[in-house]
Chain A
Amino acid sequence: MMRINIDSTPSSLKSFLNELPKVDQVGAAARAAMLATRSIKNDSKKKAIDLAISMVDLTTLEGSDTPGKIKSLVTKALHPDPSNPDVPHVGAVCVYNDMVSIARAELDRIGGQSIPVAAVSTAFPSGRASMAVKIQDTQDAIAAGASEIDMVIDRGAFLSGDYKLVFDEIVAIKDICGQKAHLKVILETGELVTLDNVRKASYLAMAAGADFIRTSTGKISPAATPPVVLVMLEAVRDFYNTLGIQVGVKPAGGIRTTKDAIRQLVFVKETAGDLWLDPRFFRIGASALLNDLLMQRMKLQTGYYAGRNYVTID
């Protein structure tokens, strides 16, 4: 059993993270590749598609976002396929801070009270701002109605070994979230270089109180690569087995097809287990993915390959 007993002094954090077992890079890639070959039969695929739809964090994080675009996005979040009411709604919508109130109001207006609004926070995507700005950013989002906060960690501090700074930032943001909002911590694994660092960052975030760990901002590549997701799923599993605290995982970035999404579900099932096959503990950050899921769902229902003219545009 792993020791997870941290007082938050810099030296204790450092020794705890440095003593974590190292990740076998080749082994992780091989296992991910092996799991990706698993064949999914049609009846399972139908359930997997509906589950994946209910796990999508429907996202728009563009400088060109407008209130109109946010409104059409949340409508799509509630009714992914307007012609087909038995399609589940998505897990959440994920927007920039200043769009939260628009998204929340529109969801409430159209009957989407059960869909949470997630806001990216702490100077997303770079995280390069003063702590005061990051705190204000988070408070604004919660005040505007965000019930999930996706914060970025300070990768520069992490890579230079200043784990204490990263830890304290997460704790401070978690304090602001309190009971009002779930905290997702974005590790931005594409900038962490190694899988060892992904494991360290995962534990650091969980120890600091993250409710979710998220792979990436979606702004840089590589993003949610299969080995990275596997390492993070192992981390939440081991954390749960040791401390009984269940932390969620959110891969984001680069998951565009139904095939990719179903592979993610296979990783979850085979690594973390059934407890995580639940939108409360596994989310997929995506925008284009939803239409592909809908088109594959139509294919299973009708037997015909669907066309993109038959799903709504984003």
Chain B
Amino acid sequence: MATSDRIDVKKTYKLYINGEFVRSESGRSYELKNKTGKFIANPAQGSRKDLRDAVTAARAAHSGWANATAYNRGQVLYRVAEVLEQRKNELITAYTLETGSTQSVAQKNVLAGIDYWVWAAGWSDKIATVLGSTNPVAGPFYNFTAPESLGVVANFPIISGGFLALSATIASTIVTGNTSIVVANEKSPLIAITLAEILATSDVPNGVVNILTGKDSELQPWVASHMEIDGVEASGLNKKSLGELKIAGAQNFKRIAYFKNSTDYKEIERLSAFIEYKTVWHTVGY
């Protein structure tokens, strides 16, 4: 059979919620076009109800993930890097499709992203040592401070950072035990969903990472007001959206972090952004 006779197998890009690939509850999708206006795909356009479902999943997954040992979380993140390495060509293809960049630029970005997972995996069991402390106190107490995860975090990755920024925002959020809801940028959904497909076949438990595609301007107000989302990494939002997020997020004491674009994103502030510090006063026996 000549190749031209073959019917195209077109891919339906879905949302990634609780380890499952689902269409948007709203039934909507939108047209993704490249810079020259050529049609690329119809990714799902997530709605507030999809966000709600993602939050439910992320909350349910949190205690299991946060209570896993740091060593185990590090292994899981490293496993992600292993699977990414095997499937990097899918990511490079998605990156070139979305950005129109050359193969070599795409490859550089994707490989840096994979390396980021390794970097974050290495931090997993060292964060407590670096950010925690034993505190001198005036009394017969052994006093120490340990970092713990904040909870459910929503991530708006910086679009210009490509796969590297996407990896940085997710890996640095979950390595400390948080669970994540990623709202992929409207112009960059394919690489996010490709990553989701890779996460689904690695060892990341269901619900620890959830990826929504759609319009961040539509989802941002629901992220901001949702009482069950504890923190937001807002790096990918524009000034207006960020301002609205801060106002609405103040209502429920959301922690909001904003990071500027970076060359490698390997900043400890990213790891410490969504951490709660627990200080323990332990009596010292005589």
Contact = CB atoms under 8 A, between A and B. Distances in A.
Contacts of B22: none
A306 interface: yes
B225 A310 contact: no
A305 B225 contact: yes
B252 A304 contact: yes
Interface in B265-279: none
Given A304-B252, A306-B228, A309-B228, 16 more contacts: A303-B225, A304-B225, A304-B226, A304-B227, A304-B251, A305-B52, A305-B222, A305-B226, A306-B227, A307-B226, A307-B227, A307-B228, A307-B252, A308-B59, A308-B228, A309-B227
A140 B72 CA distance: 53
24 contacts: A303-B225, A304-B225, A304-B226, A304-B227, A304-B251, A304-B252, A305-B52, A305-B55, A305-B222, A305-B225, A305-B226, A305-B227, A305-B228, A306-B227, A306-B228, A307-B226, A307-B227, A307-B228, A307-B252, A308-B59, A308-B228, A309-B227, A309-B228, A310-B227
A5 B117 CA distance: 74
Contacts of B227: 304-307, 309-310
B273 to A, nearest CB: 20
Interface string B214-254: 00000000100111100000000000000000000001100
A296 to B, nearest CB: 11
Interface in B192-231: 222, 225-228
Contacts of A310: 227
Nearest to B59: A308
Interface of B: 52, 55, 59, 222, 225-228, 251-252
Contacts of B59: 308
Contacts of B226: 304-305, 307
Interface in A272-314: 303-310
B43 to A, nearest CB: 24
Contacts of A309: 227-228
Contacts of A308: 59, 228
A306 B227 CA distance: 5
The 9 closest A-B pairs by CB, nearest first: A307-B227, A307-B228, A304-B225, A305-B226, A306-B227, A305-B52, A304-B227, A310-B227, A305-B227
Nearest to A257: B56
B249 to A, nearest CB: 11
A310 B251 CA distance: 13
A69 B251 CA distance: 32
A308 B52 CA distance: 13
B228 to A, nearest CB: 4
Contacts of B225: 303-305
A87 to B, nearest CB: 17
A303 B48 CA distance: 12
A291 to B, nearest CB: 13
Interface core residue of A303, A305, A306, A307 (most chain B CB under 10 Å): A305
A161 B125 CA distance: 64
B95 to A, nearest CB: 33
